[in-house]
Amino acid sequence: MEPVWSEWRRPRPTRAQQRQDLWVGLAVAAGALGMTVLVNSMGAFMFGDAPSLPEQLVWVAAMTLPLAVRRRFPLVVLLSVAAVFIAAQARHVGDNFVPSIALFLALFSAGAWERNRVVARWSRIGVIVAMFAWLGFGFVRFLIGPPTKFEGAAGPLDPVLASVLYGLIQNILFFVSAYFFGNMAWLSARRQAELEHRAEQLRLSQEQNTRGAIVAERMRIARDLHDVVAHHVSVMGIQAGAARRTLGHDPRLASESLQAVEDTARGAITELRGLLGVLRSGTEETESRPAPGLEQLPELMASARSAGLEVEHGVYGEPRQVPAGVALSAYRVVQEALTNVVKHAQAKRVGVRVRYLDSALEIEVTDDGRGTSTDTSLRGFGLVGMRERVAVHGGEFEAGPRRDAGYLVRASLPTKDGDA
């Protein structure tokens, strides 16, 4: 299910990120303490005067140490740093450089890590408004205070106006940058989450497609195994039964039946070796003959005749080359239909007709049998497999009892010139 990305909440910082924040907070605090000592040593105070050095150190420590948890509690850090920043300036703390860095990091962290985006937006706006209100208060106090001498002023603007504009532009750039980069960091994290989600969806889709392809391939191999084993074992059973019945009084006929069993078994082993070679492909070399097609239909007829059936084989239309997949499916349909006749039909005659139509290849197998009382062929895997084979090519399949006697199997497989 696709998440609602407009409601996405950034995951909480990891332990590694929290450790990084701890070191950042300590580093900024150390820098603030060092700068405060330097400013006091020089006597270059930001506001012209300053409280005692220990008090200043307490102020800058209170302003910078909250950054150690800036990603874990971004809103609390922002409000505490902003409040201490204004209070420290009201006390005229000597250094303003590192405190400004701390305020920037607090604003940035709230924009990048606060999970509630409405709170993140309005808390930053509220802090910025408060900062500009404090800045305005400072400007007013500056304007109504004793006039300041601007020695060396040579520009076209009034020195007081220039001083006010300079401070205003500097603060606007400062706060806009902190707000903008915080939002960009949050959007970047959301895009990364979207990419990871889509990558995971793609991986799951690929796994599902792979599983589907494996299942389809297993079904195809199962159909082939069923066709091969059912056909050859049925013929072997008929021939072995004939050999058993004639062994005592007609050894020559029994020998011929046993020879047919041997030949049928050899053919089954050859086809099974080819199918197993598909399963082993990529791991070792295997010997396998090409997939059977229409050229091998006479072998099926001979196998059926050896089982005692009278087989009529007719080819109608101009024979032509058809796609290999169509030829294989046609072969398997005939093979399974003959297997059902041998196993279930109790038939004497069977007809196999191959018709080459303008845009299709039609296979028809009929018999004159009466079938078993339970008609197990209708419930078995054979007819289902034939129907699925034909459906793969977009063809039509028909199977059922004939009007007078026997059973009919007909398959129409579309062909296209140039696809062979």
Question: Tokens in use for 166?
Answer: 């300079």
The answer to the question of residue 183 being in a domain is: yes
Q: Which pLDDT tens digit goes with each residue over 211-227?
A: 887 777 677 667 767 66
Count of domains forming the chain: 2
Name the 3-class secondary structure at 155.
coil
Domain boundary among 153, 176, 204: 204
The answer to the question of residue 212 being in a domain is: no
CATH assignment at residue 374: 3.30.565.10
Is there a single domain that holds both residue 59 and residue 166?
A: yes
The answer to the question of residue 20 being in a domain is: yes
Q: Which residues form the domain of 58?
A: 10-204
Determine the distance from the C-alpha atom of residue 233 to the mean position of all C-alpha atoms in its chain, rounded to a whole number.
44
Which range is least confidently modeled, 21-25, 252-256, 320-324? 252-256
The answer to the question of residue 299 being in a domain is: yes
Is there a single domain that holds both residue 193 and residue 314?
A: no
Please report, as a single letter, which amino acid is at residue 197: H
310-316 vs 396-401, strand pairing mode? unpaired
The answer to the question of residue 246 being in a domain is: no
Higher pLDDT among residues 399 and 279, named by residue: 399
Domain boundary among 144, 178, 204: 204
Please, which pLDDT band fits residue 189 given cuts at 50, 70 and 90?
Answer: very high
Domain boundary among 181, 204, 227: 204
Please, which pLDDT band fits residue 180 given cuts at 50, 70 and 90?
Answer: very high
DSSP symbols for 92-144: T-S--HHHHHHHHHHHHHHHHH-S-HHHHHHHHHHHHHHHHHHHHHHHHHHHH
Is the predicted pLDDT of residue 200 greater than 50, yes or no? Answer: yes
**Residue that has been written with the tokens 């532009």 in this structure:** 169
407-414 vs 349-356, strand pairing mode? unpaired
d(CA 252, CA 381): 37
The answer to the question of residue 140 being in a domain is: yes
Is there a single domain that holds both residue 298 and residue 395?
A: yes
**Which pLDDT belongs to residue 363?**
93
| Closest to 85 in 3D by CA, of 154, 159, 174 | 174
The answer to the question of residue 213 being in a domain is: no
pTM (two decimals)? 0.57
The answer to the question of residue 63 being in a domain is: yes
Mean of pLDDT over the chain: 83
Is there a single domain that holds both residue 195 and residue 300?
A: no
Which range is least confidently modeled, 248-257, 263-272, 285-294? 285-294
H helix count then E strand count, the chain: 10, 5
Question: Tokens in use for 84?
Answer: 């201490």
